[in-house]
Amino acid sequence: MEFEFKDVDKEGLENLEAITEADRFNAWMYDTIKPHCEGKILEVGSGIGNISQFFVRDQADIHLSDIRDNYLLALGDRFPDTNQTKLDLVHPHFEALYSEHLDQYDTVFALNVVEHIKDDVLTMKNIKKLLKPQGKVIILVPAFQRLYNVLDKELYHYRRYTPKTLQNIFRKSDITILKTHYFNAMGIPAWFIAGKLAGDKTIKKGKMNFYNAMVPVFKLFDYPMKQIAGLSVVCIGEK
């Protein structure tokens, strides 16, 4: 499967805007990764700042990044006191272009980013270059290839993962795996209904608002499902 890179990702922006108002869902995702984030932090693929806002609120030492100029402009407007960088994780001259970022971060995290990049192993190898020794990397990606549907295609997802396939790119990048678990089990039927049955090409704001309202209940259900199933899979590793 091949996708042509779009300077302005209309479908991606529509989804990010739909999720912007999902305060409970965004806070849930933040709470999931926050215990593993420390020191100088780099967020890869910050988008319009749906997760960034919590780090900024909590006065974390965070550096934002994205590959698209329109997202960087939005981040600059929303968080004028933070640093932002245009970052291409598979740039052919990665080390020369981003030399000032090499070995600089205690934590690098990328949420729903790696699935958009064809060469995920090169992506992880370059993320490792950004980390200090013993630095942590946190990756969250969509789970289960059999859930792949029109939503994934419109979002330019090359693949969905399992814990095993996600761990595999960590190992190929010589990153020590610390922890792996699923996230958002109740998102599975929601994704299937929206993308398979309804044929939605973007996340609908009304559906996202309903899901957001149910997050307190879904969180209770999620705890016993962490090692069984989820719409996403999370892996934490160490350089």
Residue 12 has pLDDT above 80, yes or no: no
| Residue that has been written with the tokens 């600059």 in this structure | 76
CATH classification of the domain holding 187: 3.40.50.150
Which ranges in 98-225 belong to alpha helices (H)? Answer: 120-130, 150-154, 163-172, 187-192, 205-213, 215-222
Query: Which of residues 2 and 71 earns the better pLDDT score?
Result: 71
Please give the residue range of the domain that contains residue 179: 10-238
Per-residue H/E/C for 75-117: HHHHCCCCEEEECCCCCCCHHHHCHHHCCCEEEEEEECCHHHC
149 inside domain: yes
In a domain, 2, yes or no: no
**Distance between CA atoms of 178 and 193, rounded to whole angstroms?**
33
Burial status of residue 58 (CB atoms within 10 A of its CB: 0-12, 13-18, 19 or more): exposed
- Domain total for the chain? 1
State the DSSP H helix or E strand holding residue 140, giving kind and residue range, or none if neither. strand 131-142
pLDDT at residue number 4 = 67
Residue 214 domain-assigned? yes
Q: Is residue 4 part of a domain?
A: no
Q: Are 120 and 139 in contact (CB under 8 A)?
A: no
Q: Is residue 65 part of a domain?
A: yes
Classify residue 58: in a domain, yes or no.
yes
Q: What pLDDT score does 53 carry?
A: 97
- Which pair of tokens denotes residue 28? 């849930």
Which three-class secondary structure state does DSSP give residue 176?
Answer: strand
Task: State the average pLDDT for the chain.
Answer: 94
- All residues at 6 or more sequence positions from 194 whose CB lies less than 8 Å from its CB, including other chains: 151, 200, 203, 204, 207
Domain assignment present for 197: yes
| Contact assessment for residue 218 and residue 162, using Cβ atoms and an 8 Å cutoff | no
83 occurs within a structural domain: yes
pLDDT digits (tens, 9 = 90+) for 206-221: 999 999 999 999 999 9
Give residue-wise pLDDT tens across range 13-65. Answer: 777 788 988 999 999 999 999 999 999 999 999 999 999 999 999 999 999 99
Residue 6 has pLDDT above 70, yes or no: no
